[in-house]
Amino acid sequence: MEILTTSASSQSLKIVPRKDAASPTITLTDKSTRTSSTITATKTTEGDYMVLSAAFNLKEGTQYSFRVKDGLEEIYRGLIFCTDQANLDNYSVNKDEYVSQGTYNNDFVII
């Protein structure tokens, strides 16, 4: 699974495809709404990896499936999760939505 942000600037996916492609395209599908969009990416290589750079239009907390194609042939498929949280080891789906109470009143009431 690849982790991307909501940034409108160019982000990159580092993958190992089934074969090399001259001009790959990415089909991005939102898993919650099932809407798809096609993205044209710029390709570079780093060793055996294909690095695809593009500007993605992503929503916070959403999962996407993506397929990389060379023409009509699919050469890679994977998942993307979009988050702006910096510390992924402590990722929380409830960030800024749940506040725990800091004081407790454990007094016994005897009637």
Name the percent of the chain lying above pLDDT 70: 79
Residue 105: exposure state from Cβ atoms within 10 A (0-12, 13-18, ≥19): exposed
Instruction: Give me the pLDDT at residue 83, please.
Output: 86
Residue 103's alpha-carbon distances to 91, 106, 107, 110, in angstroms, are 25, 10, 12, 22
Instruction: Give me the pLDDT at residue 88, please.
Output: 66
pLDDT tens for residues 63-101? Answer: 999 999 998 999 999 999 998 877 766 666 666 666 666
pLDDT band at 51 (very low <50, low <70, confident <90, very high): very high
Q: Select the more confidently predicted residue: 38 or 100.
A: 38
Instruction: Give me the pLDDT at residue 110, please.
Output: 76
Instruction: Give me the pLDDT at residue 27, please.
Output: 95
d(CA 90, CA 87): 6
Region 19-43: mean pLDDT is: 92
**pTM of this structure:** 0.74
Cα dihedral: 31, 33, 35, 41 (round 10): -40
Instruction: Give me the pLDDT at residue 25, please.
Output: 93
